[in-house]
Amino acid sequence: MTPIRNYLQENRYGYNRIVVMFVAVGLLALVLAVRVGYLQISQHDRFEELAQSNRIDLVPLPPVRGLIYDRNGEVLAQNFLVYNLEVLPDKVQDMDALLDQLGQLVELKEDDLERFRALLKRRPSFERQTLRANLSEKEASRLAVNLHRYPGAEFRARLQRDYTRGNLTAHVVGYVGRISADDLEQIDNNKYRGLEYIGKNGIEAFYETTLLGKSGFKQVETNAHGKIIRSLEQVPPEAGKVLHLSLDIRLQEKAMELLGGYEGAVVAIEPATGDVLAFASMPGYDPNPFVNGIGKKAYGELRTSDRRPLLNRALYGRYAPGSTIKGFMTLVGMQKGVSPHDRVFCNGYYRLPNGKRRYRDWKKTGHGSVDAHDAIEQSCNVYYYQLAKRLGIDSMHEGMGQFGFGHHTGIDLLGEPSGLMPSRQWKQEIHQQPWTSGETLIIGIGQGYMLITPLQLATVTATLANRGRKVVPRFLTAIENPQTHTWERLPPEVTGRVAGNNPQDFDYVIRAMRDVVHGKKGTARLSGRGLRYEMAGKTGTAQVKKVGQNETYREEETEKRFRDHSLFIGFAPLDDPKIAIAVIVEHAGGGSRIAAPMARELLDYYLIERLGLFPPEDADTDTGNRLARLD
């Protein structure tokens, strides 16, 4: 029997289910609406802040600065790991409060704060700025524990420059320093994203673009607190190139040791290439404190020191060359047709025709009859007074200029000054006065207005050693790619030859300069005793204080700052010169007494110990102190 269905009851059940479903859906919709309203109305400010704060950030990846080596592979400038305290200004609401709080954890000097505030005004707020570099272990530990309490403050590992030989290379390699507000106006900021340092002087400044490398970047997503959520993309930085210099740090060390307590400079050059082997300026200073900003007190002591350690005497010191120019004057005379065999009688002084003033020789009794060879060997002033009178200042200016007197050398350092080879025009423009015959005479012995730097003096000496071939002095000899370790070696830069002199002229002058050291009457003959090789040289004594006609110069009675400078130039070996040298020692007296023995000892050290060209000999080479004033 078929059951009878109750359609009415079934319809009622279906209707009830539909009602329940709609009620449930309505309740869920109401809950959703309430939640949406809560989020959009009550939590609107919070989520707007999160939406604005979450963003894609480009984190700069600074490159590793290129290393610097000497000619034998000894590192002169390197990088080591330090910890820095940095601030991301975008994440800081109250900068003054943050600085006060951080100052309780680490030492913040006024210099640090001044520099930091200056950079805040110059650099974008989304770039991290270093507040304090090179944290101590205790400071780093305190920061590591408390840094989470200070949004915007970060604790980062960075590479910092280190100069391994300190004061030995300060005047050559120079140093890097913090990028200053003035630097920011000069540089391309995009190239220095994430970088704190820039070359300030020396090789570091001259080859800044080569050493710098190229910054990379990392694209990251950060939250409202600046924390990195994830990395999206990365372009690695390119390390700076490695520089290989011509400098021989052992020879440099020897030169600084010999200068000792004196103020002065030594420059040594390889004549064939122009490679600068030594570039010593005494006193020196430690460049490492300058990297992160030297304190005002320490800097003030360097600036006000009577010895002027910040002065790069080898590059910027300008001195009267004294008798060191006499060989060059002889060559200029030959250019103008003056025979070196013409003899002059020296009775101890020279007077211009119808003149009363006596232009004195260093030897009161005179040298008797001398030719150019004798005049160079014995450093006879009277011969060169007469030669200068015969040539005139115009010919001297032109001829000496060919060797490089009065010109820049072109070395790879910034700010090289020119020397001064005066002329009629120069005096008229500078002093508004006409040139005089007496001024011509004293220029003939390297005094008066004439000035030269130790670098320029070494460079013209190298030209003489090359028999007139002129080479530009340089420090950089090779550039190394740190990724591939391939080297680009740089050829010497030859700028031509001295015009007007034949090889026989150079041979004549060089033989005379050989006898300065090896001859019986040579002014540096005691410094030449026991030499294992032949060398050419010339002593020089440069007056600092003018001595009147009726006055006699007595060194022991003269205040030190007015005493004569001691000079010497030379090169060796005679037949194949490997080194040309210029030594200038301030206020040390005659050139044969101090500068010549220094040069002898340096040449011995380089040729015998460094190059091994000659067998060593157990002989006392420190003969300089036994030599009386000759020149």
The DSSP symbol for 492 reads P
Question: Quick check: 513 and 326 in contact, CB under 8 A?
Answer: no
Task: Report the candidate in 611, 484, 627 with the shortest Cα–Cα distance to residue 568.
Answer: 627
In sign, the C-alpha dihedral spanning 395, 397, 398, 399 is: positive
The catalytically annotated residue of 246, 323, 379, 527 is: 323
> Using an 8 Å Cβ cutoff, are 412 and 206 in contact?
yes
- Nearest one of 459, 412, 469, 400 to 580, comparing CA atoms: 459
Q: Which two tokens stand for residue 345?
A: 């009688």
Cβ 345 vs Cβ 361: under 8 Å: no
> What is the torsion angle, in degrees rounded to the nearest 10, for the CA atoms of residue 531, residue 537, residue 538 and residue 540?
-70
The structure tokens listed for 195 are 């970088």
Q: How far apart are CA 121 and CA 627, in angstroms?
A: 63
- The C-alpha atoms of residue 526 and residue 541 are separated, in whole angstroms, by 17
Q: Where are the alpha helices (DSSP H) in 296-453?
A: 296-304, 313-316, 326-335, 372-378, 381-391, 393-403, 424-431, 437-443
Q: What is the DSSP letter of 528?
A: G
Q: Could you confirm whether 395 is annotated as catalytic? A: no
Phi first, then psi, for residue 628 (nearest 5°) are -75, 165
Is 322 within 8 Å of 588 (Cβ atoms)?
no
CB 375 within 8 A of CB 384: yes
Q: Kindly list the catalytic residues.
A: 323
